[in-house]
Amino acid sequence: AQSVAQPEDQVNVAEGNPLTVKCTYSVSGNPYLFWYVQYPNRGLQFLLKYITGDNLVKGSYGFEAEFNKSQTSFHLKKPSALVSDSALYFCAVRGGGGSQGNLIFGKGTKLSVKP
Amino acid sequence: DSGVTQTPKHLITATGQRVTLRCSPRSGDLSVYWYQQSLDQGLQFLIQYYNGEERAKGNILERFSAQQFPDLHSELNLSSLELGDSALYFCASSSQGSTEAFFGQGTRLTVV
């Protein structure tokens, strides 16, 4: 069965420092991986995806993610964090088999960026 | 703005009652998904419809049902509500051949 794990409940970063939010996955077949962000009282916003191709994927708001097949990881990164990046971040993998459209989400990582 | 509209934004109801949540997908999107977000279960996939037909089922309780209408809007019906059904319910939509889904802002259901 497809699954993702986000090992950190919370990540704290100072503004201007690089940030990493970790995600590992377990899939049968080729993984379709996604990152979404949820701001307070808002829906989930799509950040980026990996389907195939380059292992470094660039997304919205300056975020990028590195796909590592050998480590089964898909970590979210940003070179310089902003206070406005503070939010809840979800890693997701696309369901397999007959449920190819739905997403299976990790538990989420709360990112806190302090000035 | 994702283009996915959910109504109502907030809903407070009593145990044992029935409610209907509504979702209008992005223009042209044929697939609609429903998710439940709760503190203990996280984000869980409930059900998917594609062009009016049920496509996939996740962890959806028998007390819950959904449908997608000819104009592609969808409704999630929750009945015999329990305190544990209190959660944020999201609708998402995607277009044919697309790999990512776009989410509405959710309906926050509180069962008292």
Q: Distances from the Cα of A109 to the Cαs of A42, A65, B26, B69, in angstroms?
A: 16, 15, 28, 36
User: Six-digit token pair at B41?
Assistant: 């279960």
List pLDDT tens digits, range A19-66: 999 999 998 888 899 999 999 878 899 999 998 888 999 999 999 999
Residue A101 sits at the chain B interface (C-beta within 8 Å): yes
**Residues constituting chain B:** 112
List pLDDT tens digits, range B44-81: 999 999 999 999 899 899 999 999 999 999 999 999 99
List pLDDT tens digits, range B10-23: 999 999 999 999 99
List pLDDT tens digits, range A56-105: 999 999 999 999 999 999 999 999 999 999 999 999 998 765 445 688 99
Residue B45 sits at the chain A interface (C-beta within 8 Å): yes
Chain A contacts of B102, Cβ < 8 Å?
Answer: 46
Non-local (6+) Cβ contacts of B43 within 8 A are A44, A90, A105, A108, B35, B36, B37, B90
